[in-house]
Amino acid sequence: MFPIDVFQSTLVKATRILQDLAIPFHLTGGITSVTYGEPRLTQDVDIVLDPEATRAHRSDLLERLRAVGFLVDEPAARTSIEEGRLFQALDVAEGLKLDFYPRQLVAGELSRSREYELFAGVTLPIVSLPDAIVSKLVWIQRGSHKSRRDVRSMWARTTATDRAKTSELASSLELDALLSRVLSEPDELD
């Protein structure tokens, strides 16, 4: 795993740009699995972006990322932003990759973000715990095995309110049976 100061430097540069451009965002993926669940390796940072704001500011966003030292394939990023697909930026100084998702995997997830002090004095929006679990279920449907353990780990830290919201979201996406199945699986193979 990268040293925590590498994540901080890269995230502060990138999120400052998003905040300056008023692009709603939150962190998701492995870094939030660690925040809500248990420590595990992660080598990149996933950031969900509001698709409309990202499209409206795409030129400024890509230009400013490049100006602060991110390597971005601009033609590919422009197409990805337009189509609501993943685009990547590499912080050349730190060697850390950011995966930007200009779409919400779970409808309304950006409106449910939670502020979290990720580093001393640095508070950033992260995906809510229920949305994080449901997003992991979507990734499980797409073949992610790492996400199965993440779901169980995060579920162990949920409150009754978060469990109810998670169950409601999972049901709305027809993932409730998958949630039950994943929660009943052992963490280790016999």
When mean pLDDT is compared across 23-37, 79-93, 110-124, the lowest value belongs to: 23-37
Predicted pLDDT of residue 4: 61
Position 1 pLDDT exceeds 50: no
CB atoms within 10 A of CB 83: 12
DSSP 69: T
pLDDT confidence bin for 94, thresholds 50/70/90:
confident
Task: Give me 66's structure tokens.
Answer: 């490049």
C-alpha–C-alpha distance, residues 73 and 52, integer Å: 20
Mean pLDDT score of the chain: 91
User: Given its phi and psi angles, is residue 72 left (phi above 0), alpha (psi -120 to 50 degrees) or beta?
Assistant: beta
Q: Which of 92-96, 167-171, 186-190 has the highest mean pLDDT?
A: 167-171
pLDDT tens-digit series, residues 142-157: 988 878 988 999 999 9
Predicted pLDDT of residue 144: 83
Predicted pLDDT of residue 2: 40
Beta bridge partner(s), residue 98 = 45, 89
Q: Provide long-range contacts, Cβ within 8 A and 24+ apart, for 110-119.
A: 110/24, 110/25, 110/26, 110/48, 110/50, 113/26, 116/35, 118/8, 118/11, 118/27, 118/31, 118/35, 119/4, 119/7, 119/8, 119/11
Q: In what order do the strands lie in the sheet with 96-101?
A: 70-71, 87-91, 96-101, 44-49, 25-28, 122-126, 114-119
Please, where in the chain does CATH 3.30.460 lie? 4-127
Domain 4-127 sits in CATH at 3.30.460
pLDDT tens-digit series, residues 34-63: 788 776 666 788 999 999 999 999 999 999
C-alpha–C-alpha distance, residues 41 and 57, integer Å: 32
CA nearest 169: which of 144, 126, 124, 138? 138
